[in-house]
Amino acid sequence: MAIIGATAMGSSFFQSLGVGDKIWNNGPLDTQIQWFQNLLPSVCGSSCKTYLSKSLFVLGELGGNDYNAQLFGGYTPEQAAGQSPTIVDAIGAGAEKLIGLGAMYVVIPGVLPVGCFPIYLTLYQTSNAGDYDQYGCLKRFNALSARHNSLLQSKVTSLQGKYPYAKIMYADFYSHVFDMVKSPASYGFSTNLRACCGAGGGKYNYQNGARCGMSGASACGNPSSSLSWDGIHLTEAAYKKIADGWVNGPYCHPAILS
């Protein structure tokens, strides 16, 4: 039931913050779950509890677009972090709804180290070296992600205690991708902070007006050698490694197949 550009929060939340115009769809988590509930009778009839107890649910990643709306609407990372408890609570509530429907295996991913992504590195580029860590990532934006993930891990721990009969897993998106940024060669990447697909603009190959798929943009010759696909999303090669880290460990707690 995933929706492109989806958020954890509904439109009223963003309107209350004055950034409603930054949300270009209406696909919050509770809407996705409602659609899922509406579809269930045609999928599993009267035996949905049993059916869902044998299914794997991946809840997100959610939260990233909630912060994007605020940041692109003029909020600082520190201001956006003030909304983290509310966003994390919404994700937790969504997980509880699925468990109530019969879900027994739920993966809840954290958010990514966006301070290492070409879109943020381009839009918020500064001349102050102190704004960057030793790997070239924007520290304040990664701190926002880390704040969210810390709260989300606590939420997952709470849910694990509340529903001991279910396997609720925290998927550590942040640490795995940050490891790829720190040591790209060990993962088979020759570039880590530069988008594969773009119009050749600037240090990070990202331009808002010439994004991948737009006129003037083209893909690099070997996408599998890049961590970032279009400056916003990762490459298929990166996601393959991430999937393995979730299925077999060590970047999912507990691992899906443990």
Q: What does the pLDDT look like over 64-88, one tens digit per residue?
A: 999 999 999 999 999 999 999 999 9
User: Residue 25 — very low, low, confident or very high, per pLDDT cuts 50/70/90?
Assistant: confident
- Residue 109 phi/psi, 5° resolution? -80, 150
Number of domains in the chain: 1
Is 34 a domain residue? no
| Structural domain contains residue 88 | yes
pLDDT of the residue at 204:
96
pLDDT on residue 2: 81
The amino acid sitting at 73 is G
Residue 233 lies in a domain: yes
**Residue 129 DSSP code:** G
Determine contact, residues 114/206, Cβ cutoff 8 Å. Answer: no
- pLDDT score of 27: 85
The domain of 65 spans 46-253
Of 134-143, 159-168, 184-193, 198-207, the poorest mean pLDDT is in 198-207
Query: In terms of pTM, does the model score above 0.85?
Result: yes
Domain presence at residue 200: yes
| Widest distance between CA atoms in the chain | 61
Question: Stretch 192-201: mean pLDDT, rounded?
Answer: 92
Tell me if 214 is assigned to some domain.
yes
Query: Per the domain annotation, does 115 fall within a domain?
Result: yes
SS3 166: coil
For 32, the enclosing helix (H) or strand (E) is helix 29-44
Query: How would you classify the pairing of strands 252-253 and 105-109?
Result: unpaired
Q: Is the pLDDT of residue 201 over 80?
A: no
pLDDT band for position 6 (50/70/90)? very high
In a domain, 110, yes or no: yes
